[in-house]
Amino acid sequence: MNSEVQIPVWLPFLLLFSSLFFLMKKKIGAKRRTRSNQLPPGPPKLPIIGNLHQLGSLPHRSLQQLSKKYGPVMLLQLGSVPTLVVSSAKTAQQVLKTYDLECCSRPLLAATGRLSYSYLDVAFTPYGKHWKEMRKICLLELLSVKRVQSFRFIREEEVALMIDSISQSSSSGNPVNLSYKSMSLNMEVICRVAFGKSFRDGGLDVRKFQGLVQEAFSIMGSFSASDFFPRVGRFIDRITGMHGRLQRIFHDLDLFYQEVIDDHLRSERHKQEEDDDIIDVLLKIKKNQTDSSALQITHDHIKAITMNIFFAGVETGAAVVEWVMAELARNPRVMKKAQEEIRNHIGEKGKISESDIDQLQYLKLVVKEALRFHPPGAFLIPRESRSQFTINGYNVYPKTLIYVNVWAIGRDPESWENPGQFYPERFIDSPLDYKGHHFEFLPFGAGRRGCPGMNMGLLMVELALANLLYHFDWKLPNGLKEEDLNMEEAAGLSNHVKQALVLVPTKHQ
């Protein structure tokens, strides 16, 4: 018997193969590690949900805290979506200026997709030819200086009506819910600008539309599983009722918009050009387009862009008025100084019109400070990367969701002295403005996707505030002390006070 151990002929091959496989695996692993070493740092993540549990109810605050540990460029995993969070002026400049072209798309989300008629709008549509055409219409036709001026009488009339209604409360010593007043004012103005109709005129169902817009706001600001778990999310959204709710809101808003469009088509022939509202302008563009026009506008485009104007214009302006009044109620020195400036300039005139606003320099500083301290869009409108780029030496890959935490940047001690103090004087002799060139101060965003409605938004806010401060003295209700005023923020799409702001007006003689 042969005592030699027989070695199967395939064994050396197997050994060779497995060592090769091991070496290759090691090499691939090393490659992967090098690549992931170049990814931005971020907190450890849980299986499936990633870092979703770390967002909390006020994500701008939670992410500010995380950025203190992981730095101004962080990578999180929200469900299956890689998410870049930038939290300093320098890194915001890279995203919004150096790599603006790489970072100027928008993510596809369930709520914005449905409510924008599958991205026929401008604000939520991804970057591309369609967005360029829609943005051109916005800048040249809908929000141009001339068009915004043509709506001046609407703003002045609506502010005067608000002042009248507050006068009635003041004569009976009743407190006024300023959160509600500023929201209604913005809603009325945008409604007249967009539809040419006031809710007061009847015909349109005010309460229903206001309710729908607020519901739509809330659904856009809430968590939709399909945004973070594309495979199973739709199923989850159906079980939780999210999907049904979104369909119902879309359907009801659509009926409303259609009613407004039909109404405009019926009355088209009787209108002067200078009385055109946004729907008139869009219907004219649609009527005059030819087969070779770059964009073929349909009624759905008109509805989608109208939705943007409501969502971008109403909540933002209302939030700024609300935060300014809350900060002034907490800072009587600033309130007094702003009132003295306004009353000295306006004197006995009795009402403030838009042409007076340019003289009110301190009021402008107060508004700036509120925009720094409480920017309505804490993360701008979220963006999505289109191609790979490198930020602070870290790689960011295409289809990464991007949050620019402008709320945290406005409170960054690297950029601001005493950032936690509401101090409008910080802007005296300062070159800083909000037009998107100073990256420590970005309430309107910057770059290609920066806000095209800034001019209109500011005119509305400044006029409302100037009148509120000219006509009334304001105090806190029920002997509440300044330091006890609740400045908590509400969770949601835009940054509002959590508890409605209620103040007691006294008519200034």
Q: Does 367 bind ligand HEM (CB under 6 A)?
A: no
Position of tokens 């400036």?
Answer: 341
Residue from 52, 163, 456, 465 that binds ligand HEM (CB under 6 A)?
456
Stretch that binds ligand HEM, among 239-247, 293-301, 376-384, 417-425 (CB under 6 A): 376-384
Q: Does 126 bind ligand HEM (CB under 6 A)?
A: no
Whether 303 contacts 111, CB under 8 Å: no
Q: Which is nearer to ligand HEM, 141 or 473 (CB)?
A: 141
Residue from 45, 97, 135, 411 that binds ligand HEM (CB under 6 A)?
135
Give the sheet arrangement for strand 81-86, strand by strand: 73-78, 81-86, 401-404, 383-384
Give residue 181's region: left, alpha or beta (phi > 0; psi -120 to 50): alpha
Q: CA–CA distance from 133 to each of 77, 129, 137, 248, 301 (Å)?
A: 33, 6, 6, 30, 12
Other beta carbons within 10 angstroms of residue 48's beta carbon come to: 12
Residue from 63, 78, 122, 342 that binds ligand HEM (CB under 6 A)?
122
In whole angstroms, give the CA distance from residue 322 to residue 182.
7
Q: Does 377 bind ligand HEM (CB under 6 A)?
A: yes
Q: Which is nearer to ligand HEM, 138 or 213 (CB)?
A: 138
Q: Which is nearer to ligand HEM, 96 or 163 (CB)?
A: 96
Residue from 320, 324, 346, 401 that binds ligand HEM (CB under 6 A)?
320
Residue from 78, 246, 282, 309 that binds ligand HEM (CB under 6 A)?
309
Q: Does 308 bind ligand HEM (CB under 6 A)?
A: yes
* Cβ-based burial of 16 (10 A; exposed 0-12, middle 13-18, buried ≥19): exposed
Beta strands (DSSP E) in 328-408 are: 383-384, 389-391, 394-396, 401-404
Stretch that binds ligand HEM, among 294-302, 307-315, 343-351, 416-424 (CB under 6 A): 307-315
In whole angstroms, give the CA distance from residue 149 to residue 165.
25
Closest approach, Cβ 267 to ligand HEM, in A, equals: 23
Q: Which is nearer to ligand HEM, 341 or 462 (CB)?
A: 462
Q: Does 443 bind ligand HEM (CB under 6 A)?
A: yes
Give residue 7's region: left, alpha or beta (phi > 0; psi -120 to 50): beta
Residue 350 DSSP class: -
Q: CA–CA distance from 136 to each of 104, 118, 416, 434 (Å)?
A: 16, 19, 35, 22
Q: Does 450 bind ligand HEM (CB under 6 A)?
A: yes
Residue from 138, 220, 408, 469 that binds ligand HEM (CB under 6 A)?
138
In whole angstroms, give the CA distance from residue 466 to residue 405.
30
Would you say 138 is a known binding-site residue?
no
In whole angstroms, give the CA distance from residue 505 to residue 255.
40
Closest approach, Cβ 138 to ligand HEM, in A, equals: 6
Q: Which is nearer to ligand HEM, 264 or 372 (CB)?
A: 372
Closest approach, Cβ 448 to ligand HEM, in A, equals: 7
The number of residues that bind ligand HEM (CB under 6 A) is 28
Q: Does 445 bind ligand HEM (CB under 6 A)?
A: yes
Q: Does 63 bind ligand HEM (CB under 6 A)?
A: no
Residue from 51, 64, 105, 316 that binds ligand HEM (CB under 6 A)?
316
* Angle at alpha carbon of residue 443, lines to 438 and 445, rounded to 5°: 70
| Residues in the annotated binding site for heme | 451
Footprint on this chain of ligand HEM (rule: CB under 6 A): 122-123, 135, 138, 143, 308-309, 312-313, 316-317, 320, 376-377, 380-381, 443-446, 449-453, 456-457, 461
| Residues in the annotated binding site | 451
